[in-house]
Structure 1
């Protein structure tokens, strides 16, 4: 297949050196050096780093809130437009390309790359918090100023708490990933350019993408991926630590979380060594199966009909309130929008190179329409069902007996978010066994996220090579773990949030330019299809 573009990318290709690295690739060398410098400086000056991180979070969520809200709304509209336009019939890889993975395997890979730890960490925390503390659209909390429960306000607060959660984990987040993945797939599979972020910008920069302009784009993508992953890994370590405390009484502290990250990173190195088919794909399928069993237990051990009803009511409110929840202005819920929605939109943008490259890598052969429908809707529905059931059961426990509810203690009274899931499991049968399974799932999500991220960063820093040397993959898996560790040491959750937002701001501008590049490329594909017919 001929490409529409002049390909002059030889100077971004590395060669395998004596230690098995693509050491001649400038992106690898500069990204590695900058990562190591960041790690060393944060460890040397943790107090100063923590203050800096906090200021970055404050600026991003309070000053740029309108920008991130409009940005992600635009991505949703852009993806929906491509589904209904003629561009949707273009096939990724050309007219003769066919999918390399079955639907089940493809969904499993989407599931572990783009969802992961979030299902466990936020599925109880967010619905309860948004229903009672940080309410979307100013919905009143059922608990009055005196702490008394107003039963008449319970149904509406619960529904809006779930709708507010679905906003963060539904179409908006997956639209960000879809834009990134679609751009990569088109320029790699249809235009036969290297599997690298810089290739997307060939229509804009021309041959300059193979020089320092392209190096800068790929280095930014590396850091965006590293900090997005570090946030997920840090949250996973906090929840695993909390679960070990809940079940076995292990102390909750940074030292324990550092040890967890180190041990899980060591396990991830083995999977990274085995590659996509032997490691990541196998773990993804196992993880998906175990997660489904965990979900079914919670569904049938709890108030099943109430959980299903609550989930459906939450989805209905999400649909009917979709536009008000998405609006950047004219709202009376700054705490919800700035502290939650804006941070999530920045997190999704930061994760876009990671999830986008991974999704693009496993999506060859799908049409644009099929790709967008599946990437937007299938993971969103899975999340709605999971979080709708878990959140509804937790809310029912909270309002049925608030005085004895561990969910209330962990989410509303003392705010220990990493324990929210275990507070809900405490009121179900087999608490110890299921809490242990929850810990195991958190750790395996941890491993699959690290695996997937290492493969993606490895591809970027090897100049677009799909199968770069194994030692290089292991190097990046180690760096991911180290960055998660130093961010926890340097400021905890605020440091994790700062790393995400700091990289999301410049990368979001690149993503807007990607939309223009996508249209240019799809128009070319449509012309080719018309000429062929």
Structure 2
């Protein structure tokens, strides 16, 4: 092995004993610059999965749903304990002395304005999920669609408060802590220690140079598979929601051809964004996302009851604070169906997404201190999610209580829930169309940023890999989603999602070890700075 190349300008002191040169295992072929052990194995496994699912969608769906349910039912304690640990760890990093460490070294400057930075990390993190679930989830809890949180009675004042609080629980501190740990780990070890921007680098303090061998390859391959399956699943679900919305407005028929057409459009624009680069692509689209989202949010608050919104907001955060400990507990739960079907599923899903979102957040966070990073990744998104769920979910619950609209009859089709709520507000058609545009733009940014992440991992951590590789991965995301929708329909998509969720199990262990490794790295950096 040879010594690694020098770290980037502005980084802090690198490790002295790193025995690796970035890209030494890479091969150049047909304009690609790929890390063969990861790129080749990932590509083969993806092809095997897609082919197997297409040939036997029912069997694949049954097998992967079985694996998902086994992971959720037998390791609920691990998901829940891990989620709680991640929140405590991230909150501690905000106040500990390590919070003063700057990503990239003492003199590093942020690459993006604070507003653009937040817009990018929020759009990549869960913007699209909020569009899908901010109405459907509290309605499901309030009406006992699939169990109620903590066994509270449905269709009651207490049920309404807990419906909002439990939704906040699933979109608040816990998922953002999962993203924050991965993002901070990768940013610190890449920008302060000169290691490649890839998941394996986060384990250098624990494994040393073993991360460059089979152990590191496995970590990166699992990250690639979880990322592309999660993105392809969300792309398929997003196409279904957008098609449902367009059909609800009477503009198109909600058929497989419409959904595949939307996937094609999303993928095409994502490829165009990839070619434009991070600054002219993801940053621009994320800023557009936030502008459209703000318009939609303000509209829903203003045309509804502002006093009702404020009352629901207090109820949401009050319920969240009051019930966060009971909802975080996994021992002796009386609401096992709800607990496993929602909370444990969510934790597995967020954890499976953490390599993608975490790496993207790391990529855009150079120049921020640890405290700035955690406040922006953990605290501010929790507040924003709470406001969003209050506006949309609270409005839906108010409509149900007033016996207004289709939602008062219960949740029928999840993709339609937001449009059914908007239908009973002024300018319903215009706002519904704006919501569809927002869904599509959120997916474009997710596809673009996901391509950036997968490209980085499969290129051995390089940030300047050829654009053709990002185009390749953006195309693959669309092809996988469209192929599975066309060949296997909902069963194939469910199988893909189940596979991604199952990947959350090994990654829970990886994230716990990442906490230990990150703290060792940050503590060592604090001691070094104190004696410098």
* C-alpha deviation, 1:493, in angstroms: 5.6
Aligned to 2:497: 497
1:36 aligned to which of 47, 50, 58: 47
Q: Residues 11 and 440 (structure 1 numbering): CA distance in 2 closer, same or farther, change over 3 Å?
A: closer
Describe the SS at the equivalent of 2:52. helix
* C-alpha deviation, 1:495, in angstroms: 2.1
Aligned to 1:423: 420
Aligned to 1:445: 442
Distance 1:259 1:42 in 2: 21
1:160 aligned to which of 150, 156, 162: 162
Q: Matches of residues 92-491 of structure 1 in structure 2 within 5 Å?
A: 92-133=103-144, 134-142=147-155, 153=156, 155-248=157-250, 250-401=252-403, 405-409=405-409, 411-412=410-411, 415-488=412-485, 489=488, 491=491
Distance 2:247 2:17 in 1: 58
CA contact (8 A) 1:198 1:217 kept: yes
CA contact (8 A) 1:92 1:364 kept: yes
Describe the SS at the equivalent of 1:97. coil
Distance 1:486 1:508 in 2: 30
Describe the SS at the equivalent of 1:22. strand
Distance 2:270 2:204 in 1: 34
CA-to-aligned-CA distance 1:437-471 (integer Å, 9 cap, x gap): 11111111110100010000000001111121111
CA contact (8 A) 1:92 1:189 kept: yes
Q: Residues 430 and 518 (structure 1 numbering): CA distance in 2 closer, same or farther, change over 3 Å?
A: same
Q: Residues 55 and 252 (structure 1 numbering): CA distance in 2 closer, same or farther, change over 3 Å?
A: farther
CA contact (8 A) 1:116 1:449 kept: no
* C-alpha deviation, 1:261, in angstroms: 1.5
Distance 1:132 1:316 in 2: 21
Q: Residues 478 and 13 (structure 1 numbering): CA distance in 2 closer, same or farther, change over 3 Å?
A: farther
CA-to-aligned-CA distance 1:30-79 (integer Å, 9 cap, x gap): 21222122222211222211211221232123222222111111111111
* C-alpha deviation, 1:424, in angstroms: 0.2
CA contact (8 A) 2:54 2:492 kept: no
Distance 2:211 2:429 in 1: 54
Aligned to 1:150: none
Distance 1:258 1:50 in 2: 21
Q: Residues 42 and 441 (structure 1 numbering): CA distance in 2 closer, same or farther, change over 3 Å?
A: same
Aligned to 1:517: 517
* C-alpha deviation, 1:341, in angstroms: 0.8
Describe the SS at the equivalent of 1:17. strand
Q: Which runs of 5+ in 2 are unaligned?
A: 1-11
CA contact (8 A) 1:234 1:496 kept: no
Length, aligned pairs only: 516
Q: Which runs of 5+ in 1 are unaligned?
A: 143-152
**RMSD of aligned Cα (Å):** 1.7
Range that drifts further, 419-428 or 96-105: 96-105
Range that drifts further, 416-425 or 507-516: 507-516
Alignment TM-score, normalising by the size of structure 1: 0.93
Alignment TM-score, normalising by the size of structure 2: 0.93
Distance 1:184 1:371 in 2: 12
Distance 1:121 1:470 in 2: 31
CA-to-aligned-CA distance 1:151-174 (integer Å, 9 cap, x gap): xx2x21111000010001000000
* C-alpha deviation, 1:500, in angstroms: 1.9
Distance 1:390 1:103 in 2: 26
Distance 1:195 1:6 in 2: 18
Q: Residues 283 and 421 (structure 1 numbering): CA distance in 2 closer, same or farther, change over 3 Å?
A: same
CA contact (8 A) 2:23 2:462 kept: no
